[in-house]
Structure 1
Amino acid sequence: MDIWDWALEAYAQPGAPEACLSLQDEHGQNTPLLLWAVWAEASDPGLLARAADCARSWDEVAVTPLRRIRRTLKPSHPPVADAAREALREEVKAAELRAERVLLETLAGLGPSGGGASTLEALEGASRAWGPPAPREALAVLAAALG
């Protein structure tokens, strides 16, 4: 299964969206990087570091600016009609999702998957590579949701 289809299925698991958003918003983590690490069963610190560098760069260029715009467009902005604002917000949301897909597909091309790490081990490795690691308990919530 390709990484995008796998990520969609993983994100659809009960509790996964909430765990991902918590890790992203409360602990500064990168959801595509975390999901890629699980998909790849990533355990190699060198590969995780390259992946984190790639994710950091793309996050700065594409994902974060789109997310910021999407969130800014959430409340009403009179005199702009709510329907027009919401339609634009949905287009930005689609672009943000596309940027995350580009990142996942790029990460999938960095090296072979199947590193043998458990879900929690892969999440911990990716979290460490990204920057200050998220609390193990928060990563364990996502690991449990992903099964």
Structure 2
Amino acid sequence: MSLWGWTLEAYARPGVAEACLALQDDHGQNTSFLLWAVWAEGADEAALRDAALAGRAWDDQVLKPIRAVRRTLKAAFPKVDDGAREALREDVKAAELRAERVLMETFEALSDHRRGGRPALAALQAASRAWGSPAPDDALARLAGALG
């Protein structure tokens, strides 16, 4: 199964979305990178390093700005029609999702479909370290548990 297909199924599981958003918002992690690491069963260190480098650049230059616009559009703007604002927010949300998919396709290509054989928590810990400032083990364990 492709990474994108696996991610859509995984994200629909109870608790996965919440655990991912907490890791993203509270601990500065990239959920696409974390989910890729689990899918790749803990890709080797070189693949983790390459993916983290590509992911951080994409996150900083593409995903974070799009996400900021989407979040800004959540609140009403004086004199701007709410329906038009919400419609634009949905367009931006679709662009954010497409940007995440492009990133995941990049990760999938970097892993070359190799599997590292690590369990989910170990894969998440390795990915979190590779991303930069590691997230707390309990936050990673929540995601690993939700992923099953």
| Corresponding residue SS for 2:124 | helix
TM-score normalised according to structure 1 size:
0.98
Offset at residue 43 of structure 1 (A): 4.1
CA–CA distance in 2 between the matches of 1:128 and 1:82?
Answer: 42
1:77-105 residue CA offsets vs partner (Å, 9 max, x unmatched): 01000000000000000000000000001
More moved, 4-13 vs 107-116: 107-116
Task: Check whether the contact 1:63–1:96 (CA below 8 A) recurs between aligned residues.
Answer: yes
**1:105-124 equivalence runs, <5 A:** 105-112=105-112, 113-124=114-125
Aligned residue pairs total: 147
**Percent identity over paired residues:** 62
CA–CA distance in 1 between the matches of 2:115 and 2:91?
Answer: 35
TM-score normalised according to structure 2 size:
0.97
Runs of 4+ with >2 A deviation: none
Task: Check whether the contact 2:43–2:111 (CA below 8 A) recurs between aligned residues.
Answer: no
Offset at residue 46 of structure 1 (A): 1.7
Q: CA RMSD in A?
A: 0.8
CA–CA distance in 2 between the matches of 1:120 and 1:87?
Answer: 38
Where does structure 2 lack aligned partners over 5 or more consecutive residues? none
Residue in structure 2 matched with residue 28 of structure 1 by the alignment: 28
